[in-house]
């Protein structure tokens, strides 16, 4: 899942077109390739209008918009529209649904709520959920880093004490040899001068 949020601002007295463009841009539904369509906002406005009609006339199928219709509104091919739809669906801004009309099954997409605001609430929940999971990962990372540091610092003194122990053992052996030499119990090695 890739969510790309931008910081685009609307002008002082924006039109519905401009505000729809800003919304589409801010939640990452704008095309990312240069030279692509700049009419994605039209889908948002059309979905909203259809949703209002469906609520007013109590015909839920009126809120539905097919991929072909979306492609016409945005000025792109149907196949390209399918790739853009993936981002709309990831954000839970729209949902895929189907209705039976005149004996035919119509498959399409509609806002994930009766208004743009309620559909956007689903998007906010999705983004917040992602951020909460990320926050949990951050807490876990801090815990792991702390534990790794503790285990490293705990293992270093042990290694030091092993080296110190070996040095002490060597010194004790040398002292014991010197004491025995002084008492005449053992003879000093040839390469070691007598004191």
Per-residue pLDDT band for 162 (boundaries 50, 70, 90) equals low
Q: Is the pTM of this model over 0.75?
A: no
The confidence score (pLDDT) of residue 43 equals 94
Within 10 A of 96 (CB to CB), how many other CB atoms are there? 13
Structural domain boundaries in the chain: 16-120
pLDDT band at residue 173 using 50, 70 and 90 as cut-offs? low
The two three-digit tokens of residue 140, written as one number: 């876990």
Percentage with pLDDT > 90 across the chain: 51
When pLDDT is averaged across residues 131-140 and rounded to a whole number, the result is 95
Residue 191, pLDDT above cutoff 60: no
Return the pLDDT at 117.
Answer: 94
Q: Is 32's pLDDT higher than 80? A: no
Separation between Cα atoms, residue 190 and residue 192, nearest integer Å = 5
DSSP, res 65:
B
Coil vs helix vs strand at 114: coil
Q: At what angle do helices 78-90 and 67-74 cross, to 10 degrees?
A: 100
Domain 16-120, CATH class in plain words: mainly alpha
* DSSP single-letter state for residue 25: H
């Amino acid at each position: 899942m890739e969510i790309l949020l931008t910081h685009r601002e609307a002008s002082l007295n924006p039109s519905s077109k401009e505000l729809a463009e800003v919304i589409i841009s801010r939640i990452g539904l704008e095309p990312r390739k240069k030279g692509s369509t700049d009419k994605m906002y039209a889908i948002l406005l059309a979905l909203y209008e259809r949703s209002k009609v469906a609520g007013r006339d109590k015909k839920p199928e009126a809120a539905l918009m097919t991929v072909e219709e979306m492609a016409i509104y945005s000025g792109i091919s149907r196949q390209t529209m399918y790739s853009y739809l993936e981002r709309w669906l990831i954000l839970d801004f729209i949902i895929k649904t189907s209705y039976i009309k005149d004996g035919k099954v119509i498959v399409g997409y509609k806002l994930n709520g009766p208004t743009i605001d309620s559909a956007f609430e689903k998007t906010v929940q999705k983004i917040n959920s992602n951020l909460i999971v990320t926050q949990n990962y951050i807490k876990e990372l801090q815990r792991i880093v702390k534990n790794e540091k503790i285990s490293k610092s705990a293992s270093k003194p042990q290694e030091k004490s092993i080296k110190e122990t070996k040095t002490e053992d060597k010194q004790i052996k040398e002292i014991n040899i010197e004491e025995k030499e002084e008492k005449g119990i053992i003879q000093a090695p040839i390469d070691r001068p007598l004191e």
